Amino acid sequence: MDAAEISDDLTRVLYTAEQVQERVNELAAQIDADYQGRDILLIGVLNGAIMVMSDLARAMDSHCTMDWMAISSYGSGTKSSGVVRILKDLTTDISGKHVLIVEDIVDTGLTLSYLVQNLRSREPATLEVAAMFRKPGAVTAPVDVKYVGFDIPNEFVVGYGLDYAGKYRNLRDVATLSPHIYS
């Protein structure tokens, strides 16, 4: 799906699919350099991270395995509730492994700080975070994100896995959602 198809719901394109892909390739190269041939366990946060997980994993030269977690921090709206719940846990034992959390977006950081704390207690060898987008203005729970795709303004964005009420995940570009959609 392209942004032009649904331009009425979107205010502007922040990043084109091509710009996103280019940045993903840069992150993958950085990760390869940092891990130096070690196996990496990528943990994708469902559902938003599906696109970045699939692109990042294929752009890396490092060997990796993948696992997934589903957590809820938002309802169907656009504000973080601050309440984090595990909807689906990992199927892998992560102890002693080099774990890299793959997130679509860090907004307040509440979801991620909960996740980091939870996974750290399972004693991985290393634990880092890659997030495609970060909203720096909105960080109320600061988390160290080693690999950041883009820092974006504090607006609600959709596309490349990011949704509003389940929609627009398959938008190739990343665009800002028009406030008339959710207000």
Residues of this chain that interact with ligand XMP (CB under 6 A) are: 48, 73-74, 80, 103-112, 156-158, 162-164
Name which of 66 and 84 has its Cβ closer to ligand XMP: 84
Catalytic residue among 8, 39, 89, 107: 107
* CA–CA distance, 92 with 75 (Å, rounded to integer): 27
Integer Cα distance of 97 and 124 in angstroms: 5
Q: Which two tokens stand for residue 20?
A: 């996103």
The nearest distance, CB 150 to ligand XMP, in angstroms, is 12
The terminus-to-terminus CA distance of the chain in angstroms comes to 24
Cis amide prior to 25 (ω within 30 degrees): no
104 catalytic? Reply is no
Q: Which two tokens mark 152?
A: 């974006």
Taking the least distance from each CB to ligand XMP, the nearer of 50 and 59 is 50
Which residue, 104 or 128, is less far from Mg ion as judged by CB?
104
Which positions from 35 through 54 interact with Mg ion, judged by CB under 5 A?
A: 45, 48
Q: Catalytic positions, please?
A: 107
